[in-house]
Amino acid sequence: MSLLVVNSRAPGFDSPSVAEFALNISSLIQRARIGEIPIAHVHQGASRAPLALRLPIGRFDPIFATRDLICEFPSALIEFLVHSPSKTIHLAGFIRRDQLISLSSILQKAGYEPSSRASVLMVFDREPVD
């Protein structure tokens, strides 16, 4: 299994529930590190907007940046997936519904099995406007 953490650059989502959600993901990241599970981060959205979640990023964790996961799938992310020790990719983070559908479809077409839990994957319909 590998862990793919999606973090949207979405201002305006600062709330206690989002902070608690970030703690759940931070705990998952920590457990993945202990279990030596490969972790990758995808930061998507406008480059100057703040990230929705404050999450720990390890020194050797790859970070892939894209404006939108639907239009610009990071090619280096494919290399990370190819070297994954398992066909199961655990998804976590903060992602738009249409992006989640697209990402899941891409992973399934490539022979991977996307997996997620509500406690570590927050899906929203659209980014707020500043």
Q: Which residue has the higher pLDDT, 59 or 11?
A: 59
- The Cα 82–Cα 75 span in angstroms is 11
Domains of the chain by range and CATH?
Answer: 2-124 (3.40.50.850)
Residue-wise pLDDT tens digits, 22-74:
999 999 999 999 999 999 999 887 776 778 788 889 999 999 988 888 888 88
Cα–Cα distance for residue pair 59/32, rounded to 1 Å: 14
Q: Are 43 and 51 in contact (CB under 8 A)?
A: yes
Vertex 35: Cα angle to 33 and 36 (nearest 5)? 60
Q: Report how far residue 117's alpha carbon sits from residue 89's, in angstroms, rounded to the nearest whole number.
A: 12
Rounded to an integer, the average pLDDT of 2-14 is 79
Task: Give pLDDT, residue 53.
Answer: 84
130 falls in which pLDDT band (50, 70, 90)?
very low
Which distant-in-sequence residues (6+ apart) come within 8 Å of 86 by Cβ?
Answer: 1, 2
pLDDT at 104 over 90: yes
Query: Rounded distance, CA 53 to CA 9, Å?
Result: 9
Q: Give the CA angle between residues 76, 80, 85 to the nearest 5°.
A: 165
